[in-house]
A = this chain, B = another copy of it.
Amino acid sequence: MAGPITRVDGGTITTARGFRAGGTYVGIKTYSEDKMDMGMLLSDTPCSVAAVFTKSTLVSPSVTLNRETLRAGAPVRGLVVNSGIANAGVGEQGYIDAKEMAAVAAAGLGVKPAEVLVFSTGVIGVELPMTLIKKGVDEIQLAEDGGNSLARAMMTTDTRTKEAGVSVNLGGAEINICGVAKGSGMIHPNMATMLCFVATDAAVEQDFMRAILPDIADNTLNMLDIDGDTSTNDSLVVLANGAAGNSPISGGSADAEVFKEALTDVLVQLTRQLARDGEGATRLLVAEVRGAKNTADARLAAKTIASSLLIKSAVYGADPNWGRLIMALGRCGAETVESKIDLYINGVCIMEGGRPVPFHRDAVVALMRGDEVTFGVNLNLSDGQATAWGCDLTEEYVVINSAYTT
């Protein structure tokens, strides 16, 4: 019997046992106090591994190298990440540098290059400064409480770290699933400029983990939208080292369902943190769609609402301009029947059966001025449902992205 899934207060990636992490500042990003731009993660023992990468056709060679490593199928021991430069759009040198970064990090971690994944995030079109990368590997001090440093080292325009963890008792063994993420801009369904690393001390069969991860990503990180753009580098990776001593989790077991639920919860927490810290964001936007013809339609509708510039602008202005919801539902590609649509803003029904319901405008405006605006949609066609997360669009987004220089 599995116990309840509990969110770990202050949980971060190293809350999972047998993982150490660290970060440092080497000078890839411009200096400011407490800033970091390189990090590493090491498991004491080999890990089963699963990953989901960007759907872009023009990817960073670091992603290409990781795909090769994953395909080889051998256990992974750790990862290295830099922020500030994406190692993308630099021609053949990018792959050479990614290989070199893995080799250098492996030497520093005392493992083989094929056991290390490499990640870069930042500006496209600039080569990695390999001298700084080597310096970083030498400098990083791994620690059992180093998760926060790793989270800081990944940040680009993020204003705060994204960390989360859950624990659950599986047949007497307490397992932890914990992660860190970075995002902020260039974020959209289909894995945007987003890096997310999850570590678990559970023993999990690799095939099972690889089988479930794409769908979990589709329900969480791929339902996140900041600005509709998708980067060359997006990656979600899950490492499982088995330090918890549980019986290895495989498909079809009761534990498998609990593990999926717990992993989903960690990723929902990180997705919400990413959305809330979107570039220039002042509040979280949640789109909950139910009653769609199927899951695909529900995802289309939810994502379209969360990514509409007009809706995001209305959220910023705390304006219950629900006509824009109708516009978004109409263009999203999902099946809709106008006379069946119910709409809610933060729980207040504003349209029922396709007809506007008189509502107390000032009260709804007041609700929308909070730190979270939830649009509820019931298409009343069937049982498809999905949730998407985003943020408001503010002048600050434009300022950040018109000044952010190559």
Contact = CB atoms under 8 A, between A and B. Distances in A.
A338 B322 CA distance: 42
Interface stretch (A98-106, A229-237, A249-257): A229-237
A309 B402 CA distance: 10
Contacts of A309: 227-229, 309, 397, 401
A331 interface: yes
A310 B186 contact: yes
The complex is assembled from copies of this chain, and their number is 2
Nearest to A335: B57
Interface in A47-74: 54-59
**A-B complex: 5 closest residue pairs judged by Cβ atoms:** A124-B323, A317-B402, A58-B330, A313-B401, A56-B330
Contacts of A319: 402-406
A90, A190, A230 interface centre (most CB from chain B within 10 Å): A230
A222 interface: no
Contacts of A185: 310
B125 A229 contact: no
Nearest to A393: B398
- Categorize the interface residue count of chain A: 35 or more
Contacts of A327: 56, 58, 124, 186, 229-232
A88 interface: yes
A29 interface: no
Interface in A287-310: 307-310
Nearest to A334: B57
A326 B88 contact: yes
Given A57-B336, A405-B321, A229 B356 contact: no
A314 B402 contact: yes
Given A124-B323, A398-B397, A329 B58 contact: yes
A324 interface: yes
Interface in A346-375: 351, 354-356
B398 A355 contact: no
30 contacts: A54-B330, A56-B331, A57-B330, A57-B336, A58-B338, A89-B323, A89-B326, A91-B354, A123-B321, A124-B323, A124-B324, A124-B326, A124-B327, A125-B323, A125-B326, A125-B356, A229-B324, A229-B327, A232-B327, A309-B397, A313-B400, A319-B404, A319-B405, A320-B406, A321-B404, A321-B405, A323-B406, A394-B398, A395-B395, A398-B398
Nearest to A400: B313
Contacts of A125: 322-323, 326, 356
A363 to B, nearest CB: 15
Nearest to A228: B309
A53 to B, nearest CB: 12
A55, A91, A397, A402 interface centre (most CB from chain B within 10 Å): A402
Interface string A212-251: 0000000000000001111110000000000000000000
Nearest to A392: B402
A313, A320, A354, A356 interface centre (most CB from chain B within 10 Å): A313
